Each structure stands twice: as C-alpha cells, then as structure tokens.
A and B are shown apart, each in its own frame.
Chain A
Amino acid sequence: MTIDLKTVKHISKLARISLEEKKAEKLADDMNSIFEFIEKLNELKTENVEPLASIAKTTLRFREDKITSDNIREKILKNSPEKNDDFFVVPKVVE
C-alpha cells in the first residue's frame, strides 16, 4: 500500500495542519517508509486476541460532579492569545 499526495492532503485537512506542496511530497515519502515498517504486523494472526487499550486494569474512577477550583477565570484567560472582557476571541465564524 502506498500513501499518495491526495491522501496526505486529505489527512492534513483532518489534522488541521496546512501543508505546502513541497512539504506534502516529503511527508508522503516519510509516511510510506514508516508504514512499510508498520506492515510487519500483518505477519501475525490476531483474530482471537482481545485488544489491549490500557495497562491499568482498573476501570476509570468516577468523581463527584462538583466544582473544586476557586474563581480562576483570570488565570485561565491570562494565556489567551486574544480576549475581550471575559471571552476568548476567535475569527468571525457566522456571517
């Protein structure tokens, strides 16, 4: 299987990363060499194997649904690239 330029561009759209044409070609080459190496897994028969998603055997713990932090609005807004009063500002979304 080979990953062509069209696929690389599609994936970059999904990943929300803009790509120059030249970079896309290099990335296609890199991805192909990595996938060639990954294909080795197909040597193994795994029909009856349970997938292992996490090493931690415990099921995820629930916590009480209550606020545990103090008023941290300013702390959170402090790192924002653009803000207006208590809001994060983004480019216009709705016309």
Chain B
Amino acid sequence: MTEITSLSLFELIKNIKEKKISSNEVTKSFIDRSEKSKKLNAYVTENFENCLKLSKEFDYKPNFDLKLPGIPIAVKDLFCTNEVRTTAGSNILNNFVPSYESTVTQNIWNEGGILLGKLNCDEFAMGSSNETSFFGNVQNPIAKNLVPGGSSGGSSSALAANLTPITIGTDTGGSIRQPASFTGTVGLKPTYGSCSRYGIVAFASSLDQAGPMSKDVKDSSILLEVISSFDKKDSTSIDFQRNNYSSELTRNIKGIKIGIPKEYRVDGMPSEIENLWKKGIEYAKDCGAEIIDISLPHTSYALPTYYIVAPAEASSNLARYDGVKYGLRSSGESLIDMYEKTRSEGFGEEVKRRIMIGTYVLSSGYYDAYYLKAQKVRQLIKKDFDEAYNKVDAILTPSTPSSAFKIGEKSNDPVSMYLNDIFTVPVNLAGLPAISIPAGTDKNNYPLGLQIIGKPFDEQTVLNIAYSMEEKINYKNNITDWWMK
C-alpha cells in the first residue's frame, strides 16, 4: 500500500470508513513524518500528544457519518484554538492561549477532524514568503532555501511535504493561492462572507477570508463544505444556500464560458508564465469550455489600492495590541511609554511598516487623498469584474508572476515583494472566489499555478473547472525529502 501520508484526504476518509486503517494509525503516520521534518520549520506549536489521545478516542467510539472522521489536521496559526497557543507568527502573541475557538476550526472538529498542530505564517499574515514570522523562515519542500510563499507558508509547506493531509489558510491578498502555487498544491479563497472570520486574528477585515488548502481539487471541495457556514458571530458572514460542494463536483464543464483578461499580461512577465497561461487556455478548451477575451481595465490599480486599504484596516485592527489585557508587555515609565515599548518590541519590521502606512493614510488631512480615493478605485475594480461576468462564467489567469524565489531574495525590497500578489489582490478587493491549481513547472522544476476566478458565491463552478482541468494537466509534485537526508 502507498504510504499513509501521501494519500489524499478522500482516500484517507475512504480507508477509515472501510476500517482498513484507524484514525490512530493515520495520526501516528503524520506525527512521525512531522517529527522527521523539523528542518522545514512548518510548525509553531505541536499538538501531537493530544491528537494521538483524541484519535484513540475516535477509534474506540467511531462515527463514520462525519465528513472528516478522525482525520488529523494542522492549521495556520492565525486561527484561535481553545487552550492551544495561538501566535499569528508574532512575538506580541508569543504567550497567548485563547479561551475560545474560531468558528472555522470548530466546524472542522464538529465533523471529526483532530488538531495536529499550529502552522507557521507571516506575522499577522503580512507577507508573501513567510519570512516575516517571528518564528523564522519556513522551507519549501520543493527545494532547499526556497520560500514556501506566504502568508500561509507553514500551511503550504506542511501540505506539500505530507505533514498534514489537508490544511486551512487565510487569504487577504493572495495568502492561500500564492503559497499553493509555490508548492504545487491547491488553494481556494472563497467568496467574502462564506467562511466566518470569528476567531481569526484580524488583518484587514474587509478582505480577510479563510479557505481550504489541499493536494487535489476534490479534497478542497470536501473541506470547503465543512468550513463554509453562516455565523452570527461574524457581522459580515452571509446567509446563503451553500452547495454540497464535494457531491456536486463534476468534470463536465461543457459550454462554460471562461474569460481571459488581457490586462494580466503584465510587463516583464517571464515567458514561462505566459506559456503556462497559453497551455491553460488549451486545457480549458479541451475540457469543453468556451474561451472569450475580456478586459478588466483597472487591474494595474489593484495593488496600489490594496496597499492603502489593507494597511489602513490593519493599523486599526492592530491597535488592540497594547500590552494590557493579553500578549507581550514591555516595562515603561508611564502608560504611554509602556504602550510604545510593547508595540515596538512586539511587532516585527513589516508589521510596523504597514501600521505606519495605515496610520498615515488615515491621519488628519490625508484621509480623502488616500483612503477615500482607494475605496473609489476599489469600486471601479469591482465593476470591471461585474461587467466581465455579464459575458463569462469564470476567469482564467496565472496565479503568480513568478515561481518560488530564494529565501532572502526579496526581503529587503517591500515593493518587489508586494508585486508577487499582482494577480491575486484584485480578487480580494472584489470579494470573489478563486482557486489556484498546479499547472506546470518553470526551468528549475519549481511549480507554477493557474488561477480560476468565479462569480460571487459560485465556488461550485470554480471547483468544477479546476477539477476538470486538473485531470487534463495531470500535475505531480516531485518531492525528494531532501530535508531528511
């Protein structure tokens, strides 16, 4: 039999239900592999002992009607987990142990999932390479000293290295899709309002959305079905009829109209990305889709808009970290002095940079010129998509403008780091669902992803297109376990 850790979630569930393997055996396998993979630095906090205990309890009294029966799952350390340390990759939350559970993780435990551990991420999800984490870089299992993408870099690394069968990330400007693209895995950002934000450490509240990351499209559909729910505890959660995404999954996309936006052909885009996109268009045609050229004229304004909106919301959200009620406290002469020292020592450079930008654009005299302006351009970006969706059912683009880069290569130049998210950011500004699927490799054999963007609440079409194309692309990661040698 294939190694347990390389099975898909779907296969694991099947084997557990057929009593071919127990939850405890599965859990042991993933823990064993995780123990041998510490060099990847994917975990911030391990929950191994408790996970083993809960898997035994599951096996003693199994419930095979659950959607994730006894499946161990490691999650991004941005989700609050009751009684398990939650750091958001930051020194300021280094000692924080929540007394409540995020809705998304609670949904997973309710369906039989068991917490394996908390995965590394960029500090407060601010980054595209996992290099801003207080807990250090994460290695991409694809090759040594390669970033796993970010901010859900621990998640993508653990997933690609088979340390967890599936995982969840959060996506504010590409933080699920870009790391999925860099590691040859699948990552889905659902429509804004699909998955509850309750208990997720907030970054930019009008953009943040949790979503599944998995080894294949079917697994993402299973996990989305579990985590997507209406939640009164999130004021922007949306009450709509959710599909049974996994049972409604089909490869039949005949006649579906897929748009190709010419504005995504950006200057200086490597030819291998261009070629990947062309190949993707051919695959989509082979699957029976109709290809239509479209225009999203304000695409090039998305990134500047994002770098006003996201830091502004972040500066407001992160005002709560003041050293009074929880988290790190530095000593100070006065209350204000304590605040300033706590925040200076507790936050890393990138987080401080974004708080400063956000504070500046919201400060007296600058609000109209920056924040209001950005909100207006955000409207134009959303209208571009609204108009495109009068003609097409979905949009196909590359996920990222390049493959994974080396650790340290871009960490000193914030703007060049931000450009990583050029294809993913417009989707967050418009609140749309989008998936990244592995579609090929570059000259170094590093994975490259394609992005499928859907209409609001139409995750099913996005998943179906991805499922259909995935079969034609037939991508396989080549992981050599170099970190174990």
Residues of A within 8 A of B (CB): 3, 7-8, 11-12, 14-19, 27, 30-31, 33-34, 37-44, 46, 49-56, 58, 60-61, 63, 72, 75-76, 78-82, 88, 90-93
Contact = CB atoms under 8 A, between A and B. Distances in A.
Nearest to B413: A33
A60 B415 CA distance: 35
B327 interface: yes
Interface residues of B, number: 66
Contact of B325 (A15, A41, A58, A80): A80
Interface in B299-357: 300-301, 303-305, 307-308, 315, 319, 322-329, 332-341, 343-344, 347, 352-353, 355-357
A58 B335 contact: no
Given A18-B341, A38-B308, A81-B329, A46 B415 contact: no
B99 interface: yes
B377 interface: yes
A92 B159 CA distance: 49
B379 A52 contact: yes
Interface string B362-397: 010000001011111111101000000000000000
Q: Which 4 pairs of residues, A with B, have the shortest CB-CB distance? A: A55-B431, A51-B375, A81-B329, A79-B326
Given A31-B353, A79-B96, A38 B363 contact: no
B375 A52 contact: yes
A64 to B, nearest CB: 11
A40 B335 CA distance: 40
Chain B facing A: main interface SS: helix
19 contacts: A12-B356, A27-B352, A31-B353, A34-B307, A37-B307, A37-B418, A41-B308, A46-B376, A49-B377, A51-B372, A51-B378, A52-B375, A52-B376, A53-B206, A53-B375, A55-B192, A55-B206, A60-B235, A93-B334
Nearest to A72: B99
A11 B298 CA distance: 31
Contact of A41 (B301, B347, B355, B430): B301
A89 to B, nearest CB: 9
B405 interface: no
Chain A facing B: main interface SS: loop
Given A17-B343, A90-B338, A49 B380 contact: yes
Identify which of A43, A51, A60 gathers the most chain B CB atoms within 10 Å of its CB. Answer: A51
Contacts, number: 157
A9 to B, nearest CB: 11
Given A40-B304, A75-B99, 18 more contacts: A11-B356, A15-B315, A15-B355, A17-B356, A37-B304, A40-B300, A41-B301, A41-B308, A41-B374, A44-B298, A44-B377, A49-B377, A52-B379, A56-B431, A61-B232, A72-B99, A79-B327, A93-B335
Contact of B355 (A17, A51, A60): A17
A50 B376 contact: yes
Contacts of B374: 41
B62 to A, nearest CB: 31
Interface in B139-191: none
Identify which of B352, B356, B374 gathers the most chain A CB atoms within 10 Å of its CB. Answer: B356
Nearest to B315: A15
Nearest to A78: B99
Nearest to B206: A54
Contact of B370 (A38, A50, A56, A76): A38
